[in-house]
Amino acid sequence: MVMRLFCCLLLLCAMPSFAATKLEASVDKNPVLAGEFFMLNISVNDTVNGEQPDTSVLLKDFVVGPTSLSTRTNIINGSINKQTTWSVKLMTRTEGQYTIPSFSVAGLSSEPIDLTVAKRAVNADKNNDIFVKTSLSSSSLYVQEAGVYTLKLYLAKELLDGSLSTPSMEDAQLTQLGKQTESYELVDGKRYLVITREYLIQPQKSGAYTIAAPVFQGRVQQNYRQLEVSALGDDLEIEIKPIPSDYKGAWLPSELVNLDEEWQPNDSTVEVGTPITRTITLTALGVTKEQLPDITMPTIEGIRSYPDQKENNNAVRNGRVVSQQTASYALLPQKPGTYTLPEIKLPWFNTKINRISYATIAERTITVTPNSSSVNTPINAPQNMNDLPLDEANTESNSAGKPMAQTATVINQSPLWLIGVAILGYVLWIITVIFYWFNRSNINTVENVQPSPTSLNQPSLKKLIKVHKTGDIKAFYNELTHYAIQVTREETGAIDKLCQSINNPQLNNAIIQLQAQLYGNKATNSDLGAIIKILESEQTQSSKLQPTVLKDLYN
């Protein structure tokens, strides 16, 4: 047992002890060309887990590519060597002298590296198999004015894989517009695959800025070989102008702003209750859809307005950002008359002439006429003398002199019993006339009492209930209009007057929801059953009150 322990101790002592003792940094090229990728390798002579060098310090002077990690173990004549290496792709945009700083791993530090970057020849990319072109819609923009940055990558070889970085600019937002497109172009007799990307630039501060060009790196296929390639576009200078100090109002810089409207129906004369759709379109060049101000519709007394949801969109046309806002309104005239919709005026800053301009929609006058489909109660003429009131029948009889004379002649020729019957009839007629005049005074007293719209003479709600069961809200509204006209005896604004006479907030809200559902283009659910219940309740209360009133009049 002792011998075994002794052998184990000997083996442990014979095993070499490994510890990181050296950290080195090196580059595969020095000097390098501006716009050319080179490799930075950082190696330590041990296996290191959970640690890696901090390469963020390189971002100040270099374009930093992805970092790869590799480990290696060599055993030669019983001697074991381990190595851990981090490889980083780097590139500089401009020529000059640079210093790659030292790095620290596992308590060790590397030595800094002096790097020389030479200027790239002007014709270095001429007839090259891969190159990048960049362009701007305008070399001068105002603060928050939208510009378009266009990037084109030209490839003459078959692309296996690659990555294209995003252009960058201080104090600005750069956003890619849509997806990249692919096409083919012939350049100096050579066919290229062209990958195009467009970026929206929105500067936030004024001053002179540089847009750093994107960098491409990838692999292409050439004669059964895979080659690593890279390309760098040209940096572009841009001037950002400040907001003029004398400008007032919401800032909207643009080359062109336009307001337009459409009407449906496009008539200047409409009837009460006829819905009108007004669509206002705002178009602006050189701004984003988020910068478009909201267009509001002024309130017009006598016309209800139901706004629809607004739609904002933007697109790129001929290297310019075009944004558009569409807003629709449903207008519902409530009363007849002449209405003037005021002018809509939108201020904006014209970047072409460098001064404030206005986009306008002229005022518009519309005439609202009474509803031609109003329900009028026909007055039927009496068919015979028995339908006339007693005084009118008496007047009619007295005005016919000749028939009375003929009647007298007939009586003189009649028997005595017939004369007695005539005398009795005459007496009864006199009694009837006296009774009629007595009752007429009581009837006039009843007529002097102002009846409410909800009385026993109300039209039936059967048709309204029947339409409600069909679920047709348009037919329900039309029938409700006819009902209101019959109750109020008003041809215009009958529904509003019916609501005023009943004075029920629930009925008012229910009818407003019904009109919004019909003309507002919104997902509004109106309670038709509530409208019927309120009207039935009003009729029931009226029927209970009416006998009491009549009883008091005749007592």
pLDDT above 70 for 127: no
Q: Which of 87-91, 259-263, 385-389 has the lowest mean pLDDT?
A: 385-389
The pLDDT of residue 448 is 46
Q: 3-class DSSP state for residue 408?
A: helix
- Please tell me the chain's helix, strand, coil percentages from 3-state DSSP, rounded to the nearest 5: 30, 40, 35
The pLDDT of residue 514 is 79
Whole-angstrom Cα distance, residue 195 to residue 163?
12
Which residues, in sequence order, are bridge partners of residue 40?
A: 27, 88
More reliable by pLDDT, 48 or 270: 270
DSSP, residue by residue, 72-131: EEEEETTEEEEEEEEEEEEE-SS-EEEEEPP-EETTEEPPPEEEEEEPPPTTTTTT-SEE
User: CA 447, 453, 456, 462 torsion: positive or negative?
Assistant: positive
pLDDT above 50 for 363: yes
pLDDT tier at 14, thresholds 50, 70, 90: very low
The pLDDT of residue 210 is 93
Q: Which of 84-93, 206-215, 252-261, 389-398 has the lowest mean pLDDT?
A: 389-398
Domains of the chain listed by start with CATH number: 20-118 (2.60.40), 130-241 (2.60.40), 253-369 (2.60.40), 387-448 (no CATH), 462-554 (no CATH)
- pLDDT, average across residues 438-443: 57
The residue type found at 391 is: D
- Give, rounded to a whole angstrom, the gap between the first and last alpha carbons of the chain: 135
Q: Write down the mean pLDDT value for the chain.
A: 78
Whole-angstrom Cα distance, residue 113 to residue 101?
7
Whole-angstrom Cα distance, residue 50 to residue 27?
24
pLDDT tens digits for 461-499? Answer: 888 888 888 888 888 888 888 888 888 877 767 787 888
pLDDT above 70 for 456: no
| Percent residues over pLDDT 90 in the chain | 21
Q: Which of 20-29, 238-247, 446-455, 468-477 has the highest mean pLDDT?
A: 238-247
| Percent residues over pLDDT 70 in the chain | 79
Q: What are the C-alpha distances in Å from 166 to residues 130, 155, 163?
A: 18, 18, 10
* Helices 505-519, 494-502: crossing angle, 10 deg rounding: 160
The pLDDT of residue 151 is 94
Whole-angstrom Cα distance, residue 88 to residue 27?
10
- pLDDT, average across residues 132-139: 91
pLDDT above 50 for 86: yes
pLDDT tier at 404, thresholds 50, 70, 90: very low
Whole-angstrom Cα distance, residue 343 to residue 357?
16
pLDDT above 60 for 389: no
More reliable by pLDDT, 404 or 323: 323
Q: In degrees to the nearest 10, what's the CA dihedral of 136, 138, 139, 142?
A: -130
Whole-angstrom Cα distance, residue 166 to residue 230?
15
How do strand 172-176 and strand 190-203 relate by DSSP bridges?
antiparallel
344 Cβ contact partners less than 8 Å away, ≥ 6 residues apart: 259, 280, 295, 360, 361
What does the buried/exposed string (b/e) look like for 53-81 if buried means 16 or more CB atoms within 10 Å of the residue's CB?
Answer: bebeebeebbbbbeeeeeeeeeeeeeeee
pLDDT tier at 380, thresholds 50, 70, 90: very low
Which residues, in sequence order, are bridge partners of residue 303?
A: 300, 333
- pLDDT, average across residues 112-128: 74
- pLDDT, average across residues 302-322: 84
The pLDDT of residue 186 is 87
pLDDT tens digits for 254-263? Answer: 989 999 999 9
Nearest to 478 by CA among 374, 357, 407, 368: 374
Q: Which of 160-164, 207-211, 476-480, 522-526 has the lowest mean pLDDT?
A: 522-526
For tokens 């459409």, the residue is 262
pLDDT tens digits for 142-171? Answer: 999 999 999 999 998 888 888 888 899 999
DSSP state of 44: E
- pLDDT, average across residues 392-411: 40
Look at the pTM and tell me if it is higher than 0.85.
no
More reliable by pLDDT, 304 or 66: 304
- pLDDT, average across residues 114-136: 78
The pLDDT of residue 476 is 85
pLDDT tens digits for 227-245? Answer: 888 888 888 999 999 999 8
Element (H, E) at 50: none
- pLDDT, average across residues 172-182: 90
Q: Which of 202-211, 344-353, 368-377, 436-445 has the lowest mean pLDDT?
A: 436-445
The pLDDT of residue 531 is 87
The residue type found at 379 is: I
* Helices 528-554, 473-488: crossing angle, 10 deg rounding: 20
The pLDDT of residue 19 is 59
* Helices 401-412, 390-399: crossing angle, 10 deg rounding: 80
When computed from its CA atoms, the radius of gyration of the chain, rounded to whole angstroms, is 48
Whole-angstrom Cα distance, residue 402 to residue 238?
112
- pLDDT, average across residues 301-317: 85
Whole-angstrom Cα distance, residue 239 to residue 445?
90
pLDDT above 60 for 130: yes
The pLDDT of residue 371 is 78
Largest CA distance in the chain: 174
8 A C-beta contact, residue 108 and residue 23 = yes
The residue type found at 477 is: Y
More reliable by pLDDT, 182 or 407: 182
